[in-house]
Structure formats: C-alpha cells, structure tokens
Amino acid sequence: MAQRVISIGDIHGCANALESLLRSIDPSPDDVIVTLGDYVDRGPDTRDVLTQLVELKAKCELISLTGNHEIMMLDAVEVDEPELREFWLSCGGAETVASYGNSVDAIWQDHIQFIRQCRRHYETDTHFFVHANYDPDLALDKQPDHLLFWEHLSEVSQPHQSGKVAIVGHTPQLSGEILDRKHLKCIDTYCFGTGWLTALDVTTGISWQADQYGQLRS
C-alpha cells in the first residue's frame, strides 16, 4: 500500500468526530497522520480524544504538533501560578477538567506526557505543517512561538520561501469548508462549534469530515 500523509485539524475535545474519521481513514502502518494541535479544551471529551491519539501511535506513524491550547494546559498543570490556571480554564480548560471528573489532579499522566512530546512543526518534501501561522521568509526551525502557536491567518498570507504548501489549523473556518489558497490550506473547520473535524490527504486532496456528534459529512 502506498504511503498516505493525512493531516487532521483542530479536534478540541470532539472525540466522536475523531473516532468517526479514524474509522473512515482506517490507518495502516504505512500511513503518516499529522495532527495539528488543539486536541484539548472547548469540546466535551478531551480525555477520550487523547486516549484515541495515544492508541493511534500503535497503528501508524503519528506526528502530533503542539497547539496553543496544549501550551496553556501544560502551563496550568505544571506551573504553580493560579492566574495561569484561571486563564486556561476560561479558554476552554474547564471542559477539559470536566472530562477527567472535574479535577486537574485527575488528568492522566500518559496524556500529559503525550502533550509534552508534541512537535513544533513537521515537513515532507512537498508540504509543511504548523498549528497556526508562519513567517514566509524564515526557515521552520527559526519561526517564533507567537506565529507558530497563536497568530491567526491574515488575508495577505504569503507562500513560504521553501515553495512547500502550508497545512495549518488554529484559524476557525466558520463555514466548515477548508480554506484553500493553493500555497496554504487551513483545515480548522470549527468542529466544536457548528462545523466539522477535517482530515485531509495532502497528496491526493481527498478529505473526510465529521461533526462533533460523529456524523460523517456526505
């Protein structure tokens, strides 16, 4: 079987959507699945999302990127500063804590470890993957944190100096449609709201979408 490179957008606790997509994709050991971060917060079941991602590592090559919500979560859990925890809780962390029985101390350590090992970026011969945004004139390993994790896309985003196609999340597409600017594709399609969780085969352009209840888009 030929290797597929499939990217999955911002999951945000939508475990039913992720389960439906993975069932449709049916990952094999030859596949590379690149998840773009923001696995946690806002949606109803962060705990099950992280459980599915930990288990997915045994089925394919999983490249898990860090999102800004993972950064906030680690700060809240690992740094003894109440304001950091309050900030995280106000940004969707409350839903994450609820999925672990309403206790920060109950968050599973293997889930914390999964988040710790997430990458800043990933690239292939033809594409690169970041959570949020990028400077078109800087190599990936020189990108500043505020761009990679926090800054939303603008209307004037430029192609990267590498010539590779950027695959990003973070900027929610309220229409539920993939944003396609040829040199850039944004696949955060607002699953925790009224949209879909999107998986995209970056080579063929084939996509799969499911809503937060797990219903596949026809």
The Cα–Cα gap between 130 and 36 comes to 6
In a domain, 135, yes or no: yes
- Residue 157: per-residue pLDDT: 85
Q: What is the pLDDT of residues 97-154, one digit of tens each?
A: 999 999 999 999 999 999 999 999 999 999 999 999 999 999 999 999 999 999 999 8
Q: b vs e for 129-145, b when ≥16 Cβ sit within 10 Å of the residue's Cβ?
A: bbbbbbbeeeebeebee
In a domain, 161, yes or no: yes
The Cα–Cα gap between 187 and 175 comes to 11
In a domain, 95, yes or no: yes
Q: If you average pLDDT over residues 167-177, what whole number do you get?
A: 98
In a domain, 217, yes or no: no
The Cα–Cα gap between 68 and 71 comes to 5
In a domain, 150, yes or no: yes
Answering whether pTM is above 0.85, one says yes
Q: What is the pLDDT of residues 176-213, one digit of tens each?
A: 999 999 999 999 999 999 999 999 999 999 999 999 99
CATH number at residue 157: 3.60.21.10
**181 and 136 Cβ atoms separated by less than 8 Å:** no
Residue 75 in this model has a pLDDT that exceeds 90: yes
**191 and 17 Cβ atoms separated by less than 8 Å:** yes
Domain region containing 153: 5-210
* Residue 53, H or E segment: helix 46-56
In a domain, 215, yes or no: no
Domains held by the chain: number? 1
Q: If you average pLDDT over residues 42-67, what whole number do you get?
A: 98
- Residue 218: per-residue pLDDT: 84
- Residue 2: per-residue pLDDT: 72
In a domain, 218, yes or no: no
